[in-house]
Structure 1
Amino acid sequence: MKIGVIADDFTGASDIALALAEGGMAVSQFIGVPDAAADPALDAGVVALKSRTAPAAEAIADSLAACEWLLGQGCEQIIFKVCSTFDSTPQGNIGPVLDALADRLGAQGVTTCPAFPENGRSVYMGHLFVGDVPLNESGMQNHPLTPMTDSDLRRVLAAQSSHPVGHVPVATVMDGAAAIRAALPREGHAIVDAIRDADLVEIGRAAKGAALLCGASGIALGLPANFGHRPAAPAWEPVRGPGVVLSGSCSRATRAQVARYRTIAPHREVTAAQAVRGEVTAEELADWALAQDVPPLVYSSADPEVVKAAQETFGKGVAAQAIERLFSDLAAALAARGATRIVVAGGETSGAAVQGVRAKTLRIGMRLAAGVPAVRVEGERPLAMALKSGNFGGPDFFAEALALLAGEA
């Protein structure tokens, strides 16, 4: 391997895997740290962790273990993949994990850039924008686990990190790779502006030979070329058969997608109270889902006010854990009963679903939407999945993804 990625959630892992695959690299996504060597034919490996909201000490330990495994596969460059909305709290986990990786690799002036212009994320003067609004006005301020109340990434990262945090402005980035390299600080981390894909390509060129980078999937746009690769469309073999949509994201985009898909498909909502009290079971939901003529939707994507009320009633972590556990069991039950296409919305929900089907390696396929690839679970039976970050995809994403997985669009 040439590039190794440590992703702090499962949707982010498939997101950056797609960017590397479209850059012409042979890529696999691993669920957790593998216990065996990877295929030597791989150019890049992405280790997907559920470390975004884990206790900081656990996130650091898991990330360092992933780093050691990737280095053992020959990786020359490590990327710490975080969300394009920089999801974290004042305690971390981006800062603590980035510090630990930088210390392990002896990296200084670490480029940190979550920009992803194709999905409306840009970094300007150190501030993260979603579309034309600052991060803290984008809806992310209401995230149930990692509310983002400050758009200034310099302040956000400095609050979490023991290392100094610098900044490379967009005017310097537009001057090209040499200017970027010259502007990176000699110590700590650097928030690097990017408002266009072209900026990310130059950031990638500037990162040639760097031991460590941090960012969203856009950080990978310019990296494959550093290793002699050229863009190519990943192959995909269609998977037909029963399909189901699972949604646990409460983002604005996902709630709009849920509302749209409900107009054309059978649907069941699972409330936090039902999940906590055990009033609905995975087996019951799986039986109902696979009895439908149209791929159905099972969702727990409530408005922020409803989520807040559930947290106040049951405790912040209790409701989320109950819903994740239910979706994990549901994914397992669906796969056991013959489902072959599972579309999942939400990072935590995707992690739960992938663990539920006991996936160890995902083969990266074609693009379903910006930042969302088709993935095939390696195993005896065909199982295709789409793992979507909450804010990604257009209004008709669920129907479109199911059709594309089956080769019907």
Structure 2
Amino acid sequence: MQKHPVTPMNEADLRVHLAEQTSCSIGLMNVLDLEQKHAQLTQRLNERLADEPDIMLFDVVTEEHLTAIGRLLAEESREAPLFAVGSSGVEYALVSHWRQNGMLPTESLQRQAEPTDRLLVVSGSCSPVTGVQIEWALKHGYAGIRVPSSLLLGNETEASQTKLLEEAERFLREGKSVILYTALGPADESIAQTRDYLRSKGLDSVASGELLGARLGQMARELVLSTGLQRIVCAGGDTSGFAVKQMDLFALEIMAGIVPGGPLCRAYSNDAKLDGLEIVLKGGQVGPPDFFERVRKGRSEGQLDTPSMDGKQGFYEQ
């Protein structure tokens, strides 16, 4: 995250980091607070809330911390609706508390999907994790097509865009899985080129996610419609959000766990040709090196022979 092109993480204290993005006051429940027994923890939370912060940040290190946070969220939500911002850690915290209370079964739902013969990946991610995943896929038979940022940002002709789509379509019709990517890791020279282009247009780097993501989404939609693809991956947090807006989808339903934070979903659309599309929206830092192949095979962690990047095992909770 230190090298993220839009929101670089140069400060470990999230209150300091977030203060660059908001003028709201930020309170903190730190790891020492979360080590307290529940009665003392609730009292500590009330003391923190008495200062009336606009935001209350919960730190977390252990599974036990997650369970404690889940209990606090559940109890507070009985008093009034809560607005919570976070990663899938919010769901993990609540699920852990509900399991401890017997409100959910203790075992994960390990639903799987059928494999598909080919997969389309569109990536606007600059993450080193996604870079490793792209390299793994290219070494294992995937066709890779670098998409110049100049093409996505409207700096090249329509003929160039058509040529690239035709190349991708040819690979897909040959039965190959295809990756369209804008960068290969945080050191890729395309990142600086994109920043220079945005500066020349009077835009800041935040605009890159929307501009690149939207065009990648349009390309994915065109390829799905022209080839009858059944399954795709959008890689990159910003890319995924803006890309999916271009695909005429109005809802997603979890089909199967691939890795925590990266489930395979069924998409719903008013367009009959897009309704039922299977899609993964993957943050840049999510997944092991063989993540794309896991998606193609519909398999979760622990079911393929290759190790995960961080050694973790688990399933996405619904």
| TM-based fold match above 0.5 | yes
After the TM superposition, which residues 9-408 of structure 1 pair with which residues of structure 2 at under 5 Å, given as runs? 140-184=1-45, 185-186=48-49, 187-188=52-53, 189-210=55-76, 211-212=81-82, 213-224=84-95, 225=98, 228-231=103-106, 232-233=108-109, 235-238=111-114, 240-264=116-140, 265-276=142-153, 277-278=155-156, 279-281=160-162, 283-305=165-187, 306=189, 307-315=191-199, 316-317=204-205, 320-337=209-226, 338-379=228-269, 380=272, 381-404=275-298
Amino acid at match of 1:334: L
TM-score normalized by the length of structure 1: 0.59
Secondary structure of 1:141's aligned partner: coil
Amino acid at match of 2:146: E
Q: Deviations over 1:171-229 (max 9, x none)?
A: 22122433332212122133322111221111111222323233221122232417933
Distance in 1 (alpha carbons) for counterparts of 2:90 and 2:245: 27
Q: Displacement, 1:312?
A: 1.6
Distance change (3 Å), C-alpha of 1:390 and 1:175: same
Distance change (3 Å), C-alpha of 1:334 and 1:323: same
Distance in 2 (alpha carbons) for counterparts of 1:405 and 1:350: 21
Q: As a proportion of its length, which structure holds more strand? A: 1
Secondary structure of 2:298's aligned partner: helix
Amino acid at match of 2:103: G
Do the aligned partners of 1:328 and 1:354 also contact (CA within 8 Å) in 2? Answer: yes
Q: Which has the larger radius of gyration?
A: 2
Distance in 2 (alpha carbons) for counterparts of 1:397 and 1:239: 14
Amino acid at match of 1:255: G
Distance in 2 (alpha carbons) for counterparts of 1:285 and 1:181: 59
Amino acid at match of 1:267: G
Question: What is the number of residues matched between the two proteins?
Answer: 269
Q: Displacement, 1:352?
A: 3.3
Do the aligned partners of 1:241 and 1:341 also contact (CA within 8 Å) in 2? Answer: no
| Matching residue of 1:79 | none
Distance in 2 (alpha carbons) for counterparts of 1:326 and 1:367: 28
Distance change (3 Å), C-alpha of 1:349 and 1:183: same
Distance change (3 Å), C-alpha of 1:160 and 1:245: closer
Q: Displacement, 1:237?
A: 4.9
Q: Displacement, 1:290?
A: 1.9
Do the aligned partners of 1:248 and 1:345 also contact (CA within 8 Å) in 2? Answer: yes
Distance in 1 (alpha carbons) for counterparts of 2:172 and 2:58: 47
Distance change (3 Å), C-alpha of 1:215 and 1:178: farther
Distance in 2 (alpha carbons) for counterparts of 1:326 and 1:288: 20
**Unmatched runs of 5 consecutive residues or more in structure 2:** 305-318
Secondary structure of 2:266's aligned partner: strand
Q: Deviations over 1:316-367 (max 9, x none)?
A: 4565544223211111112212010102211122123322321111111221
Identity %: 27
Q: Displacement, 1:169?
A: 2.5
Q: Displacement, 1:383?
A: 1.4
